[in-house]
Structure 1
Amino acid sequence: MSSTADGRTPKLAQARQDRPLFAIMLRLLAMMMIGATYAIGKLLIERGANLAEIVFYRQLFAFPVAAGWALALVGPALLPQAPMRTHVTRTSLGMIGMLLNFGAVALLPLAEATSIGFTMPIFATILSALLLREQTGIHRWSAVLVGFVGVLIMTHPESGNFASAGVFVALAGALVTALVAIVLRDLSKQESAPVIVFWFTLLSLPPLGVLLIWYGQMHDPVAWLLFIGLGLTGGAAQLFMTSALRYGPVSIVIPMDYSQMIWATLAGWLLWSTWPQPSTWAGAALIAASGLYIAWREHVRRRAPTISPAEDRGGRSG
């Protein structure tokens, strides 16, 4: 089989295929898998597992999925094209983000932790402006403000939803996840998604394995089945999320991410007999609206034609 100029197979060089309905289905499946991953993580915490074990086994049992997916699309050309330090940075942030996100699930009801996680695009907008000096207009800053109003509604002391520690952990998880997204912007210019996921999973196992020397415990067969399910659902979620972008534009695919709230609410009701407070629904609606508007403005910005300075001055003078 012939390869492209960068040594990769033609499978990675092919353009995005326009199959929007299939893309939506894949993204919805990904959100269902993410909901299952966090629900399983919460069950494991209740059975005595700690965060180090949860993140390690999530990566360990996801590795066959990541490796199989990468080999199917890339073949043996898995050596990174980007500097290894970039992969190490992505891996470090990814591990911290997972620890925080599972920590939020341990401290909060599932739906509330999920809702606060939706602030990730808000943090990404702020970080892009601060770190990348990306131009951010009044539209996106207004969306950021609306999103934080949603957070305040959800976390107001009178809402009685949850303890403040869980809120801060969930917000920290969203912040670190936003940092991961910024790193991935640069990394994805040099690497394909399967290669990025493969190296993230592989590089995370040694440091997490070291943590298990101190924090590893004995578990019963049910817990081991849950650990396996944790990794498989997490790996499947990554596969479905990335594959969706091969078949549909971001503006269609990304809004499906908010369907995760449905699965979080359903799991909370079925497994823990919990139901979100009215303030949670109101705050989540504002956060989701903020994230959707930010995604839409990004879509509009990327589609806007490039205007030279001379053309810009001429247009404004008329």
Structure 2
Amino acid sequence: MLATMLMMVKLSGEHGVALPETMFWRQFVPALTLLGWLAARGELHRVKTARPRLHAQRALIGTSAMFLTLGVVQLMPLAEATVLSFTAPIFAVILSVALLGEKVGRWRLGAVLLGLAGVIAIAGPDSDNLSPLGLAVGLGAAFGVALVSIQVRQMARTEEPICVVFWFSTAGAAMLSLLLPFYVSSHDAYEWALIGGIGLTGLLGQLLLTAALRYGNVSSVIVMDYSQIGWATLWGWLIFGQLPPDALWIGGPLIVAAGLIIARREQVLHRRPPIDPQSAPNAD
């Protein structure tokens, strides 16, 4: 769903739809769809929340990350943009140290260095067609996604997926509506179809991702996320006639390997029983 959404975002950009307007409809369509569906079922109580401040923070961070995530596909081919998004687990490790004070062992530290080597390979001297701005935006998007993933994981412990998605979409649409007078334009039927498709695939992808973070562990979700590269490569070839350059086949596997190592280590650490410092003073 997310790879298909990004493909349509790239298409809408090529047809002259401004990114702020695309983002507004990306948020407005899910908010309206969820509101109508819940009202028809008499289940509006499912979006009631006791944590409005946290939802507001999520909307602010998430909308900023979305601007970068959607913007990078208009600056770079789909495959390259998707591979850069896989650096999010690497940033998550760095953030866990900076924000949570977690200790990182040699496996995860090595994974971070491996992922950085992958980024350097993709951005190397052989990548003449790679936009420096696109590279910066792609890495910024991954950093934002890492922040959002930590936040959504915390929210999903007490909030239903549909509640998290509804308030993110509603608050995001409200913020983006302030930009509409400067960017809105008329569209033909094809462009409206793209806009509607972006909203619907974004809604489905977000619901599935939020549910995955609620019912599965983060490491499993991260591993499944790598299926995006297959879809991105397929859409890039079928729709835009673009195939990944040689540098991507070198750097991409390094980034994916780094993410898999981080996911595996997270899984091992969560399974490991806590150590009693009194019975095992030399456990460190």
Q: Which interval holds the TM-score relative to the shorter structure? A: over 0.9
Q: 2:80 aligns with which of 112, 131, 153?
A: 112
Aligned to 1:213: 181
Percentage identity across paired residues of the two chains: 42
Change in 2 beyond 3 A, CA 1:134/1:185: farther
Secondary structure, aligned partner of 1:106: coil
Letter in 2 for 1:79: K
- 1:46 matches 2:14: yes
The normalised TM-score by structure 2 is: 0.92
Deviation readout 1:3-43 (Å, 9 max, x if unpaired): xxxxxxxxxxxxxxxxxxxxxxxxxxxxxx11110000000
- Is 1:122 the counterpart of 2:90? The answer is yes
Give the equivalent residue in structure 1 for 2:158. Answer: 190
CA contact (8 A) 1:161 1:277 kept: no
Kept in 2, the 8 Å contact 1:155–1:161? The answer is no
- Which position in structure 2 is the counterpart of 1:172? 140
CA contact 2:35–2:44 (8 Å) conserved in 1: no
For the residues of structure 2 that align with 1:70 and 1:114, how far apart are their CA atoms? 33
1:183 Cα deviation from its structure 2 partner: 2.1
Aligned residue runs from structure 1 range 1-318, under 5 A: 33-67=1-35, 76-82=45-51, 84-244=52-212, 249-313=217-281
Q: 1:66 to 1:77 in 2, by over 3 A?
A: closer
- Count of matched residue pairs: 283
| Structure 2 contact 161–207 (Cα < 8 Å) conserved | no
Greater alpha carbon shift after TM alignment, 243-252 vs 221-230: 243-252
> Is contact 1:45-1:106 (8 Å) kept?
yes
- After superposition, the C-alpha distances for 1:114-138 in whole angstroms (9 at most, x for unaligned) are 0001100100110110011122111
Distance 1:292 1:70, change over 3 A: farther
What is the CA deviation profile of residues 217-276 of structure 1, one whole-angstrom value per residue up to 9, with x for unaligned ones?
A: 111111001100110011111222334456655444431211100111111111111100
Q: What residue identity is the alignment partner of 1:100?
A: L
Shift in alpha-carbon separation, 1:120–1:65, aligned structure 2, 3 A: farther
Deviation larger for 157-166 or 301-310: 157-166
- Paired position in structure 2 for 1:15: none
Contact 2:212 2:221 in 1 (8 A): yes
Deviations 1:80-106 (A, max 9, x none): 122x22111110111111111111001
Distance (whole Å) between structure 2 residues aligned to residue 254 and residue 170 of structure 1: 18
Counterparts in 2 of 1:257 and 1:70: CA distance versus 1, 3 Å: farther
Query: Using a 3 Å threshold, how does the CA distance of structure 1 residues 245 and 159 change in structure 2: closer, same or farther?
Result: same
Deviates more, 1:68-77 or 1:217-226: 68-77
SS at match of 1:305: coil
- Measured in 2, the distance between the counterparts of 1:203 and 1:189 equals 21
* In structure 2, distance between residues paired with 1:249 and 1:89: 23
1 CA distance for matches of 2:153 and 2:216? 18
Q: Which runs of 5+ in 2 are unaligned?
A: none
User: Is 191-200 or 268-277 further displaced after alignment?
Assistant: 191-200
